[in-house]
Amino acid sequence: MNTKMLCNQSINQSINQSINQSINQSINQIVGFVKTCYKPEEVFHFLHQHSIPFSSIGGMTNQNVLLNISGVKFVLRIPNAVNLSLINREYEAFNNAQAYRAGLNVETPVLDAKSGVKLTRYLENSKPLSQIQLNEQSCLSQVVNNLYRLHNSEFVFRNVFSVFDEFRQYFSLLENKSAFFQADPRMDKLSAVFWQFEEINKEIILRPCHNDLVPENMLLQDDRLFFIDWEYSGLNDPLFDIATIIEEAHLSKEAADFLLETYCNQTNKYHKTEFQIAQKRLKIHRFCQNVLWFLWTKVKEEHGENFGDYALKRLDAAFKLLEELP
């Protein structure tokens, strides 16, 4: 290598180090401010003041912001203050890191367990899976591959995600209990059936699960699929993740059957009896998820958040599944 090339390489390294230092300084400034303020409008004002290009990209439970720091894009999560009592950020941070090391998650330079502030690398040329894609067999096969890698990974999450424990926690936070019990004349029956399934995972080997695989949390970059947002992750029945996809992506019966069959084939659990048991468990998980997320919505609504008819749709889905339960 000649002297000129060595000189150019040295200059490039110095430039890169300077850029990285500049980016790190900006990140520390931004994260430090957001830790003290959960109001998106104040964060936006701060970014304007410091001439940091940004755009709001929404989010159902938190405010997400796309940042451009010295030409490098990041996604900043401004946590919702209500979520501080709903989500254990230490578990999230641990699980998030495990999933990244396994190649299932995006790079996360910052995830502050105390405040919930998170900064992830923006995936260029990536898009969340659409409901149309998730009803296609080729896409579902790719999702199954990721699920298999997650559920059969060597790492172990430290926490268990239990619908029933989550329900107890959310219900304790609900100030107006009648918002749940008086939502429909049939609530007593729904509640009784819900609790009879509390032991559903008793004989199951729990595995690392995402537990919140809405289409927006599955990002496709070229031919590579990532699962993002591990807030609700924990050890669970792997079928819980499949149930989530069926519910959140509104899969057709054909697509739902294909998803379960493909997963059972990959895990060598396609024995007829096991498959029939899996179908029953899947329906129970779907029912329980709808009950839980209905309650979750009522808690959020008490704090001024508007989810439109989301709670009603969840409750309607729960009652529909109630009639189909074994």
Domain segments of the chain: what residues? 33-121, 126-322
DSSP H or E stretch at residue 45 = helix 40-49
Indicate whether 10 pLDDT > 70: no
Q: Could you tell me the CA-to-CA distances from 21 to 15, 26, 90, 97, 125 in Å, in that order?
A: 10, 9, 27, 23, 26
Matching residue, tokens 């995006």: 106
Q: What is the mean pLDDT of the chain?
A: 90
pLDDT band at 62 (very low <50, low <70, confident <90, very high): confident
Instruction: Give me the count of residues in the chain.
Output: 326
- Tens digit of each residue's pLDDT (9 = 90 or more) over 239-298: 999 999 999 999 999 999 999 999 998 877 666 778 889 999 999 999 999 999 999 999
The rounded percent of the chain whose pLDDT value lies above 90 is: 77
3-state helix, strand, coil in the chain (%, to 5): 55, 15, 35
The alpha-helical segments, DSSP class H, found in 85-124 are 89-101
The rounded percent of the chain whose pLDDT value lies above 70 is: 92
Distance of CA 245 to the CA centre of its chain: 11
CATH number belonging to the domain at 33-121, selected among 3.40.50.300, 3.30.200.20, 3.30.70.790, 3.90.1150.10:
3.30.200.20
74, 60 Cβ separation under 8 angstroms: no
pLDDT band at 159 (very low <50, low <70, confident <90, very high): very high
**CA–CA dist 190, 171 (Å, integer):** 15
Indicate whether 111 pLDDT > 50: yes
pLDDT at 21: 83
Angle (CA) 76 80 82, round 5°:
160
pTM of the model: 0.90
pLDDT at 80: 79
Indicate whether 4 pLDDT > 60: no
pLDDT at 83: 67
Q: Please give the DSSP secondary-structure letter assigned to residue 226.
A: E
Give 132-161 as a DSSP string. Answer: TGGGSHHHHHHHHHHHHHHHT-S---SSB-
Q: Which of 13-22, 84-93, 152-161, 215-224 is predicted with the least confidence, judged by mean pLDDT? A: 13-22
82, 305 Cβ separation under 8 angstroms: yes
> Does the domain formed by 126-322 have CATH 3.90.1200.10?
yes
- Tens digit of each residue's pLDDT (9 = 90 or more) over 168-180: 999 999 999 999 9
- Three-state DSSP at 67 gives strand
pLDDT at 297: 96
- Tens digit of each residue's pLDDT (9 = 90 or more) over 194-205: 999 999 998 899
Strands (E), the chain: 54-58, 63-69, 72-78, 110-111, 118-121, 126-128, 207-209, 218-221, 224-227, 234-236
pLDDT at 247: 98
